[in-house]
Amino acid sequence: MSDFDFISVNTIDEALDVLARPQKVTVLSGGTDVMLRIHDGRLEPSLLLDVSRIEELKGIKEKDGFIEIGAATTINEIGASELIKDNAYALYEAADVFADPNTRNRATIGGNITNASPGADGAPALFALDGEVLIKKKGGERRIPVTDYIIGSYKTVLEPDELVASIRFKPCKNSAFIKIGLRKAMAISVETVAVALFLDENKIITDCRVAFGALGPSTLRARNTEKVFVGYTPNEETFAKAQEVIAMDIKPRDGLRGSREYRFSTAHVIMERALIKAYEK
């Protein structure tokens, strides 16, 4: 483990001042992944910045027609939120199957998407919910879609002087999340899917969003598959069409937790189950 300095701050402005320094700064919030990466040498910061005491980065609220989640809000807090359960059930379900209770109590939603693991449980739900990330730096800020924030395996667009402040999305009454893991507890995803639907008064799908985890180098939106369902209802015909086009959207790889063939063969199955679950909610 390399030597590094440590600073704990109480406000976003203090954090941005530190991030503006000409040092290799690593942000620490929950620490469930950062400390492991430092310990095994994958991460060698010059300075570790603890933002876990910043209250401005915590909490879940409704604001300007959006559900807004502070980046330092824990997965456990998301899983316990009635606001999330009622308006973003896919994210609620993702939080419920996230690692184990101890990890959920420390891991944060901002850390989960910034780590950008292909199997991150929070990312597919936020992709399907069309989430946006608020990023701050000294003297400015920007807001970008979550789908543009994660750009590859363990890669994001976050610059060294920037801090993720919050994630927001519009409420969605019809969404669902399904995870395939090798065991019930502490399971890294073999594959995951999140679905968000918007329906008209006749229960026709007016907007469909499907996102997969662990079926490509990073979390991905299945945009060709989504188009199959818009203007229709879930039925044998639409599912058959979706099975034909889903190969255009996913890029499964062989891995220790599942072969490419297995992931390919099960992707449309879990997508159909999640879509029916979201539609009937």
Q: What is the 3-state secondary structure (H, E, C) of 104-144?
A: HCCCEHHHHHHHCCCCCCHHHHHHHCCCEEEEEECCEEEEE
Per-residue pLDDT tens digits of the chain, which is 281 residues long? 568 899 999 999 999 999 999 998 999 998 888 877 777 777 788 899 999 999 999 999 999 999 999 999 999 999 999 999 999 999 999 999 998 889 999 999 999 999 999 989 999 999 999 999 999 999 999 999 999 999 999 999 999 999 999 999 999 999 999 999 755 444 566 899 999 999 999 999 999 999 999 999 999 999 999 999 999 999 999 999 999 999 999 988 776 566 888 888 899 999 999 999 999 98
Ranges of H-type helices in 121-259: 122-128, 146-149, 223-229, 236-245
179 phi and psi angles, rounded to 5 deg: -125, 135
**What is this structure's pTM?**
0.94
Strand order in the sheet with 25-28: 5-8, 47-50, 25-28
